[in-house]
Structure 1
Amino acid sequence: MIQAQKGTKDVLPQEAYKWHYVEGKLRKIAEEYGCREIRTPAFEATELFTRGVGETTDVVQKEMYTFEDKGGRSITLKPEGTAPAVRAFIESSLYSEAQPTKLYYFTPVFRYENVQKGRFREHHQFGVEVFGAPAASLDAETISLAMRAISEVGIDNLKLHINSIGCPKCRKAYNDALKGFLKDNLNNLCKTCNSRYEKNPMRILDCKEEKCKVITKTAPVILDYICDDCKEHMDKLKGYLEAMGISYEVDPYIVRGLDYYSKTVFEIINNDITVCGGGRYDYLIEQIGGPSMPAVGFGMGLERLIMTIEGAGLEIPKPDHIQLYIGSMGEKASLEAMKLTYELRKKGIKCDCDHMGRSVKAQMKYANKLGAKYSLVLGEDELDKRVARLKKMEDGSTIDINIDDYEAVSRIIKGE
């Protein structure tokens, strides 16, 4: 038997409603903030990620699904959502419109990594990207959107951690200090971190190897090296968060796993699990080939978000799968049931009828299994009188309805 690949998961009908619920909440919040939806392809030119995400990141070095297509081009399944959104922003000349441009997306992302609870090789991400404004107020607004979105699906006990990782101007001094600190421990670092030492020493702080974590635990912190401009930006961000009543904690060890970040980085944590992360990336648009333009954004994994909701014991409301089941006795009644089903569906009623030639008893048993809110049965008597008995499955109460008055039947079922 062919099975789903390791690190992937089918979303079956009995689970899909959870995704609809969460995605609906996130979409509503994003649009309240003025964001518009963007959809980008599942694969991109590999160069987009090596240039944008960074050659020394775990994502590029270890996790990307990269292959050569039949035209000899190097193609990569997208491992994150920001770089493709930036590519689309540049390619479609959205930078020529009035700024800021606020975008959101739902997208699958692909990373070849160790499979564990809440971590898959294909997972789905909700992201927000805002282009065109350098102000710290936009950082704060983006963070507030993320915090509200998570709260809206019922998750509380959220902790916001913020940091500044500076800009190219002040990061050089920090990299020099970090290299000086790590120099005597090079032999004790993992092979990957050794390769990062010269090219991008700050990436060593993001290493998941335990021996590297121990070494970097007492490393210099970048907040001691940021320039006056970056410090002012951080102070303004704090002021905006405080004005909105959003509590935060400064965590000097947040660096995020992607190279495009500058100045603000943040993580939102629930019970020691990071459910959202993001920050400012003022140089990525130019780096990929667009104009010099600042940006800020975040991403959150939907699988992890749903897992967090369930872990908190929260119930995601189940929608009505079938509002009305129409049973029938005989071929003539079956034709009428099909007609009634068709007409009521046009009125927005979720309904179904028999396609298996079951007995009436079996049809009602099936209606129960579907969780139908109402049922009715058509037979010769009902067809002659054009009247059927509508039964509320929950309590067995009934009401006679005219089977030709589709509007009246739909209003009863909708509770109007």
Structure 2
Amino acid sequence: MTITGSDATTPRKPTATRDSPPPPEPPERGGGMFASLRVRNYRLFFGGQIISNVGTWMQRIAQDWLVFELSGYDPVALGVAVALQFLPTLLLSLWAGVLADRVDKRRLLIGIQTAVASQALVLGALVLTGVAALWQVYALCVVLGTLSALEVPTRQAFVAEMVGRDQAANAVALNSSIFNLARIAGPAVAGFAIVLVGTGWLFVANAASTVAVIAGLALMNPAELFRAPSVGRGKGQLRDGLRYVRGRPDLMTVMVLVFFVSTFGITFFTSLAVVAANVFGTEADGYGLLSTMLAVGTFTGALAAARRGSRGGPTLRLLVVSAAALGLCELVGAFLPTYLLFGLGLVPLGFATITFLNTANALVQTTVSPQLRGRVMGLYVLVLMGGNPVGGLLTGWLADTFGGRSPFYVGGAVALVAALVCGYVAHRARRGARRPGTTHPLPQE
């Protein structure tokens, strides 16, 4: 049976089986910036993420710098690594969303995180034994990308299961806040650690930090999860999810805008290494400090999003405005002449970026039918990350051909134009939604 758009706005309470106690009522909206932490299962998840995300960002910085060193500081090689890491998203994200709707998400996440820790250990062992080659790093990028393609839709769909629909926006923002707090600490630590001990031990540290996530998931009480009715195997389930999104103009606007901004605009997480080394002539510590400045903005933006999430739902207007601000900040930052000014310019860019990403995620999480959440999140992850192979290669080519700053002004211009076009289309659709017979009004207010 195809789910209609009206199902997306009807809150559903979790169901209990005959052998389990009734689950608690979902926490009501409100309760401050940390409202969703009142849920025990989410506290366990949150605590594990605090530790693991620091390790994740240390590995990301170490991996980028390792590729840069092994390739003789070639920006194209860095773009290839990014493309290989995100290529599996193109192939697996939609299927991963179907899988997330069918199986126990908590158990699936435990298995995926165990494999992530193993990948980091292998990479660390290769570096520490002195046998690491560029092709090996590329191969492990594909492995990590495959695991990420399975993990991200499952984890994002699992957020609402932990806290319920009313607190999903707040929980998404808190997830982002700890992710970006780790982005402040991780790159700064990684930059200096690479200089002192090399990249190998950072991969080992990330493997150890992943144990915290696994432990948090294992300690959860499954009876307290706000699960949607299970979805059995059947034909056409992926098509049902795509048809559902196609029938929702608001979701289509989100997906299109996220694709263009993430593919062409949010490439600076990769190109920062090129700017640090090739434009300003710094070492790994300079790269780490630039990443930290960007993270100051994203962390501040995540806290602001958490406060908004405890007070009210996300809006399409905020999504469009934040996308335009992202493009403008990136475009202006491309022309800042000194290392200090460029670093300071990364703070508002980070704020606009995380506001855009959190708003898009929360719009999808809070407006879809629970039975289809995994499939819709799989499509969301596909448009969010699936363009990164193209974006990564384009970034490397631009930096190599036109200089390290070029990915910033090209990406900023594309993001700004995409925001203006989608804003205009959404405005026209909103006006049409006010006419009699329209069934899918856009969530503007």
TM over 0.5: no
Looking at CA atoms only, which structure, 1 or 2, has the larger radius of gyration? 1
* Between structures 1 and 2, the one with greater helix share: 2
* Higher relative strand content: 1
TM-score (norm 2): 0.21
TM-score, L = length of structure 1: 0.22
